[in-house]
């Protein structure tokens, strides 16, 4: 697994950002190899943070190079280039959480 973290500050009002996030959900949902995405906000400074979990480095790189990802600065009117970090997962605390139905009785 690989994780992509994208942080940005928008020049738009929060309600406008929320609306755009909702509009882009179907395209994000359809991204090949994207296992999960967390939409977060660093409230103390106002930055939005997307935490993406991919099945492979190849899927992560494909997403980084797709139009959806490349359009982020324009669509959200970022005040600077987004800060991007790509990470390889070494191991996870609860690997059973990745298995459908694991831990359920």
Check residue 102 and give its pLDDT.
38
DSSP assignment string, 28-65: HHT-TTEEEEEEEEETTTTEEEEEEEESSHHHHHHHHH
Question: pTM here?
Answer: 0.86
The phi and psi torsions of 55 (rounded to 5 degrees) equal: -75, -20
Say if CB 8 and CB 85 are below 8 A apart.
no
Domains and CATH numbers, the chain: 2-91 (3.30.70.100)
Residues 12 and 78: their CA atoms lie apart, in Å, by 8
Per-residue pLDDT tens for 6-34?
999 999 999 999 999 999 999 999 999 99
Average pLDDT for 66-76 = 96
SS3 37: strand
């Amino acid at each position: 697994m690989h994780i992509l973290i994208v942080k940005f500050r928008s020049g738009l009002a929060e309600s406008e950002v929320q609306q755009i996030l909702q509009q882009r959900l179907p395209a994000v949902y359809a991204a090949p190899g994207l296992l999960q995405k967390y939409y977060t906000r660093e409230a103390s400074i106002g930055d939005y943070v997307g935490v993406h979990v991919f099945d492979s480095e190849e899927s992560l790189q494909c997403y980084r190079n797709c139009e959806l990802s490349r359009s982020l600065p324009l669509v959200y009117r970022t005040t600077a280039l987004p800060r991007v970090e790509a990470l390889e997962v070494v191991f996870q605390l609860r690997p059973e959480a990745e298995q459908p139905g694991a831990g359920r009785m």
